[in-house]
Amino acid sequence: MGYPEGLLAPDEHVLLHRHPHWKMLFWPAVTFIVASAVAGFAGGVVWQRMDGTLREAVLIAIAAVWALLVLWRCAGAVIRWRTTHFIVTERRVLVREGVLTHTGRDIPLNRIASVEFRNGLFERTLGTGTLVIDAASGDPLEYHDIPGVEQVHSLLYHEVFDTGRYDTGYDRGAPRGP
């Protein structure tokens, strides 16, 4: 699964584990393709028009620029995507990010006051969106690029409000409105 399950309680089970949507890898992929095409074209021109040590030096420079660009714009995005985890268990929502600087946030399900999602036309087409969790901490927490955000919203809503396991302060039988 790629997530350190040792952080879970002994009787805690993962209901959902997601990485951000693949759309965050679109521009790095385009960068890789364009950089490779430009480097290949430049290498072909250098190969035909130069010779000797100058040709080797220019080819090495082209390869170095290509490698730096790919590492800077592509590898970093893939690592960021791979090391970002959005996890729902039957007890809490966990978000973990980072490699060198690791950050995490846990939200107990009994602290969640509301769950909502937002997705525009483009995001609906891709099957992604923003999940907004209003917890007892005050400011709503927004998680962007959640794949299948409507299903995640439904799962969280069911776990928090439909099962009756948690006292959220919401009385299902109370009249609503003024």
| Domain ranges within the chain, ordered by starting residue | 11-20+84-162, 25-80
pLDDT at 74 over 60: yes
pLDDT at 163 over 60: yes
Q: What residues have CB less than 8 Å from 144, skipping those under 6 apart?
A: 20, 130
Residue 23: helix, strand or coil by DSSP?
helix
Q: What angle do CA 116, 82, 76 make, to 5 degrees?
A: 115
Q: Which amino acid is at 6?
A: G
Q: What residues have CB less than 8 Å from 15, skipping those under 6 apart?
A: 88, 89, 90, 155, 159
Could you tell me what percent of the chain has a pLDDT over 90? Answer: 54
Mean pLDDT of the chain: 86
pTM of the model: 0.76
Buried-exposed string 117-149: b where 16+ CB fall within 10 A, e elsewhere: bebeeebeeebbbbbbbebeeeeebebebbbeb
Q: Cβ distance 55 to 43 under 8 Å?
A: no
Q: Cβ distance 111 to 43 under 8 Å?
A: no
Q: Which of 53-67, 99-113, 154-168 has the largest mean confidence?
A: 53-67
Helix then strand then coil, % of the chain, to nearest 5: 45, 25, 30
pLDDT at 67 over 50: yes
Q: Which CATH number is 11-20+84-162 given?
A: 2.30.29.30
Q: Cβ distance 146 to 155 under 8 Å?
A: no
